[in-house]
């Protein structure tokens, strides 16, 4: 048997993992510190001197964190008492045990990138929860909200498009075309994550709907047809009362979340699904990932937007939530450093929940890294193999490429891309719909 591939790591000088740890993550931490600074007077107004002390404490913990990272110090156990603290510390022990040498310790630039990058966001959370009364402060909220507000024009265009679609008049082929369109909107919506841009604004300003044709050549794996076959078959064969559940493992808030809501709305209106379940993060994560607060905030904004189609969409979405047709879930597993093949053991309850879905859509790059275990796979390895036993239900990754990992490509394609566009793996310019399940 061939050796399983090694993990992506900042140990590989010059790799994207290395550049991320060397440049991008310190930049994100600096921005977090700056955000706390800028809210100083707000903290004072709200909490008086106690707020000022808390701000100082959080900043000093975060500066220490940045220093540990930049000087490649050993990864230290978490000291807070949160829902997942013990799991994290056990995971660190496990990483230590892999080193086979009692003198060596996991460190920022030597350990698997997925582990240390997740750990950084968990340490940011630790710094905040150790600084009451600021323990509920989301250091990324401002950037997430700004991303949404700056994408207003595109949000309007999408809401208007959805409202003007007379789904009941569409024949089968037209319905498929619309489904494909909205899938692609949701794909390219993933371009706007904020961790790639170091937390700087990365809103959607172009008219995506009119750019889809031009973007098609950048879709490297296109399994949209499998998604259609699966859902349209269920639509035709299901009994009137049976449930067709589609789960979204969400990625970013702001504009990307809107594209997911639009797709989810379409799935219900077209009866391709009867229930949508969204999975979000319990803590602020990779700058722009969706938490329950973001989920509700975005929905409220759309509902109270001063544009009639937005308001109608927002109203519909709220009704879906009230009727239990849109359900929001969170689970601590999503902010742990595990590859998804470990879910069955680490979070069997979540695995069982996902098994109830007819289709699971995994949005975004980080989800892809976790699906494929963040390993240096050959580009031609089948997706099914990279999933390493993770098959709770038919699933599809919808992701723009922002990390040096991709499987399931036809022979020669990766080499061709490398020759024509050396940074094809990391800029978000290319995208995939990669499906695993019975076809």
Interface positions with ligand F6P (CB under 6 A): 20, 117, 190, 193, 195-196, 251-252, 286, 364-366, 369, 402-403
Stretch in the footprint of Mg ion (CB under 5 A) among 234-242, 245-253, 319-327, 339-347: 245-253
In the complex with ligand F6P, the residue whose CB is nearer, 286 or 334, is 286
In the complex with ligand F6P, the residue whose CB is nearer, 366 or 432, is 366
Residue 405 interface partner, choices Mg ion, ligand F6P, none, CB cut-off 5-8 Å depending on type? none
CB 320 within 8 A of CB 326: yes
Give Cα separations from 299 to 44, 283, 344 (angstroms): 30, 19, 32
Question: Which residue from 147, 186, 202, 252 is in contact with Mg ion, where contact means CB under 5 A?
Answer: 252
For 169, counting Cβ atoms within 10 Å of its Cβ (0-12 exposed, 13-18 middle, 19+ buried), the class is exposed
- Coil, helix or strand at residue 277: strand
CB of 219 to ligand F6P, least distance (A): 16
Block residue for tokens 């602020």 = 284
In the complex with Mg ion, the residue whose CB is nearer, 289 or 316, is 289
In the complex with ligand F6P, the residue whose CB is nearer, 162 or 342, is 342
In the complex with ligand F6P, the residue whose CB is nearer, 238 or 376, is 376
Question: Which residue from 193, 247, 265, 374 is in contact with Mg ion, where contact means CB under 5 A?
Answer: 193
92-94-99-103 Cα dihedral, nearest 10 degrees: 60
CB of 313 to Mg ion, least distance (A): 23
Strand order, beta sheet including 326-330: 219-222, 431-436, 395-400, 359-363, 245-249, 275-280, 326-330
DSSP characters for 308-359? HHHHHHHHHHHHHHHTTSEEEEE-GGGGSS--GGGHHHH-HHHHHHHTT-SE
Q: What is the DSSP letter of 255?
A: H
CB of 367 to ligand F6P, least distance (A): 6
- Coil, helix or strand at residue 176: helix
Bridge partners for 281 per DSSP: 291
CB of 287 to Mg ion, least distance (A): 7
In the complex with Mg ion, the residue whose CB is nearer, 22 or 144, is 144
CB 350 within 8 A of CB 335: no
Stretch in the footprint of Mg ion (CB under 5 A) among 30-38, 48-56, 192-200, 204-212: 192-200
CB of 202 to ligand F6P, least distance (A): 10
CB of 285 to ligand F6P, least distance (A): 9
Residues from 153 through 182 that contact Mg ion (CB under 5 A): none
The binding site for Mg ion (CB under 5 A) comprises 193, 251-252, 286, 289
């Amino acid at each position: 048997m061939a050796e399983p591939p090694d993990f992506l790591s900042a140990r590989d000088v010059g790799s994207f993992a290395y550049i991320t740890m060397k440049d991008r993550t310190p930049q994100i931490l600096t921005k977090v510190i700056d955000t706390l600074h800028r809210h100083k007077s707000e903290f004072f107004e709200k909490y008086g001197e106690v707020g000022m002390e808390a701000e100082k404490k959080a900043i000093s913990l975060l500066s220490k964190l940045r220093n540990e990272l930049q000087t490649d110090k050993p990864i230290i156990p978490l000291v807070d008492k949160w829902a997942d603290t013990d799991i994290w510390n056990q995971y660190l022990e496990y990483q230590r045990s892999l080193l086979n040498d009692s003198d060596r310790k996991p460190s920022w630039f030597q350990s698997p990138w997925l582990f240390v990058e997740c750990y950084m966001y968990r340490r940011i959370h630790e710094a905040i929860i150790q600084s009451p009364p600021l323990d509920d402060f989301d250091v990324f909220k401002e950037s997430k909200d700004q991303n949404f507000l700056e994408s207003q024009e595109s949000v309007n265009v999408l809401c208007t498009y959805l409202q003007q679609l007379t789904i009941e008049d569409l024949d089968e082929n037209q319905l498929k075309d619309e489904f494909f369109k909205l899938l692609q909107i949701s794909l390219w919506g993933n371009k706007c994550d904020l961790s790639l841009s170091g937390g700087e604004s990365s809103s959607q300003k172009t008219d995506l709907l009119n750019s889809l044709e031009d973007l098609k050549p950048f879709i490297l794996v296109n399994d949209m047809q499998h998604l259609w076959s699966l859902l349209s078959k269920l639509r035709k064969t299901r009994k009137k009362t049976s449930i067709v559940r589609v789960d979204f493992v969400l990625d970013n808030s702001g504009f990307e979340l809107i594209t997911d809501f639009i797709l989810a709305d379409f799935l219900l209106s077209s009866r391709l699904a009867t229930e949508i379940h969204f999975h979000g993060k319990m803590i602020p994560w990779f700058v722009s990932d969706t938490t329950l607060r973001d989920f509700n905030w975005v929905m409220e904004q759309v509902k109270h937007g001063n544009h009639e189609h937005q308001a109608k969409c927002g109203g519909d979405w709220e009704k879906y939530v009230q009727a239990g047709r849109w359900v929001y879930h969170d689970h601590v597993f999503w902010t742990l450093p595990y590859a998804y093949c470990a879910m069955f053991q680490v979070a069997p309850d979540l695995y069982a929940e996902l098994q109830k879905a007819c289709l699971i859509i995994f949005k975004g790059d980080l989800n892809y890294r976790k699906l494929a275990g963040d390993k240096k796979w050959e580009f031609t390895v089948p997706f099914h193999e990279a999933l390493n036993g993770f098959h709770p239900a038919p699933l599809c990754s919808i992701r723009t490429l922002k990390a040096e990992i991709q499987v399931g490509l036809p022979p020669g394609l990766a080499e061709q891309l490398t020759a024509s566009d050396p940074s094809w793996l990391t800029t978000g310019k290319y995208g995939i719909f990669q499906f695993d399940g019975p076809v």
